């Protein structure tokens, strides 16, 4: 065991990695402490129990994919920049982690609640962007839901960011969802 202190963020990084690599069953205190080469006391120093740990992982994920990514859209200075973000940002997501969260949500209410909130916020944000970029769209909420469903489906169907089908899928998505305009970079 290393003498350096294991911080809360270290535990969260480890939990996210184990969830992505091994699935929800890896998030036992025994598995976490073994992987961290730390004692249970070290874990309990930062988290009251496993539920508190799972909540913290979900909160950090929500903060990253809703708040932090949302700020990038708020800071965009033009419709072209927004469309560029809409083309690129979905491919920055960690597909393995996102799939693991969806599997975990099937059996864990804490995760299901977090996932429901993230999905709702993402669709709401996307609907706002569609309203702004395409004022002619009669139902931005439904258009956003379809676009988001395509992203979630792609996360399950594509192997990851190096899947050889990805360029064609991206191109089709840009065309179908009108994410590129003439002159966009």
Distances (CA, A) of 145 to 119, 123, 125, 134: 9, 6, 11, 15
Give the pLDDT of residue 183. Answer: 64
Alpha helices, H only, 24-165: 29-36, 40-46, 50-62, 69-75, 79-88, 95-105, 109-133, 140-157
Closest CA to 132 of 92, 178, 88, 90: 178
Return the H-helix or E-strand segment holding 22: helix 8-22
* Domains of the chain with bracketed CATH: 8-176 (1.10.357.10)
Give the pLDDT of residue 180. Answer: 79
pLDDT in tens, 83-127: 999 999 998 899 999 999 999 999 999 999 999 999 999 999 999
* pLDDT exceeds cutoff 80 at 185: no
Can you state the angle between helices 109-133 and 79-88, rounded to 10 degrees? 140
Output the average pLDDT for the chain.
Answer: 94
């Amino acid at each position: 065991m290393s003498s350096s202190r294991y911080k809360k963020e270290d535990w969260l990084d480890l939990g996210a990695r184990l969830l992505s690599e091994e699935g929800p069953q890896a998030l036992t205190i025994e598995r976490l402490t073994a992987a961290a080469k730390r004692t249970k006391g070290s874990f309990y120093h930062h988290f009251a129990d496993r539920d508190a740990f799972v909540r913290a992982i979900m909160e950090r994920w929500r903060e990253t994919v809703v708040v932090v990514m949302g700020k990038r859209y708020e800071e965009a200075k033009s419709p072209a920049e927004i469309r560029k973000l809409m083309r690129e940002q979905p491919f920055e997501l960690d597909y393995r982690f996102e799939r693991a969260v969806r599997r975990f949500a099937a059996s864990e209410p804490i995760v299901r609640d977090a996932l429901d909130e993230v999905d709702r916020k993402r669709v709401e944000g996307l609907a706002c962007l569609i309203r702004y970029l395409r004022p002619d769209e009669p139902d931005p909420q439904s258009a956003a839901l379809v676009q988001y469903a395509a992203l979630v489906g792609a996360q399950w169907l594509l192997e990851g960011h190096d899947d050889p089908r990805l360029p064609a899928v991206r191109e089709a998505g840009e065309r179908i969802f009108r994410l590129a305009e003439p002159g966009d970079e």
